[in-house]
Amino acid sequence: MAIVVDPGDGTDLLKVQEILRRHGLSVQAIVITHAHIDHIGGAAKLKAATGAPVYMNSNDMGLYDHLDMQAGWLGMPAPAKTEIDCAAREGDTLRLGETDFHVLDTPGHTQGSVCLYIPELDTLVAGDTLFRDSIGRTDLPGGDSRKILSSIHHKLLVLPEETAVICGHGSSTTIGREKELNPWL
């Protein structure tokens, strides 16, 4: 069983499907950290292929409604859209086997941005909220620079320092490293 986070469309989706095939995994849930096209563009196709429900915070529905506009900004065709099956909310837990994935509400990069904290694995899936040496941009519609800093300080930097952070783009890091070295914090 697997939880897929943020399937993009095109080659991103092909890579995800190749990994699922190679390991013989069935998809239990598709979790969207936020409704930017590079994080949600493959959700409809992956859901059609697997039957897995799509989780997203409802505060990003407005952004998802304008997926065609996001595609237009990037000069690409708009990907297929799907129903959002489950609202991902602060305090929600998805269970995969013996492992719990906790939803953390972390608005700022978008209004409905969430992160997933997996204590058993000492791992945070940070979407586009926290990066190695950087934070998510807040100049796109729904972005809020004050909120993203509040989310990072109150929800992420309070996690154990050894927590591995898987970022939506670029290299992974740890909470401790970003606390010490991230120039934006």
Binding piece for Zn ion, criterion CB under 5 A, among 6-14, 62-70, 89-97, 127-135: 127-135
Nearer to Zn ion, 50 or 131 (CB): 131
Phi, psi of 6 (to 5 degrees): 60, 60
Interface pick for Zn ion out of 6, 60, 128, 178 (rule CB under 5 A): 128
Nearer to Zn ion, 128 or 178 (CB): 128
Nearer to Zn ion, 3 or 135 (CB): 135
Are the beta carbons of 163 and 146 closer than 8 angstroms? no
For 90-115, give one letter per residue: b (16+ CB within 10 A) or e.
eebebeeeeeebbbbbbbbbbbbbbb
Binding piece for Zn ion, criterion CB under 5 A, among 21-29, 61-69, 97-105, 126-134: 126-134
Nearest Cα residue to 32 out of 143, 112, 109: 112
Query: Least separation, in Å, of the C-beta of 127 and Zn ion?
Result: 7
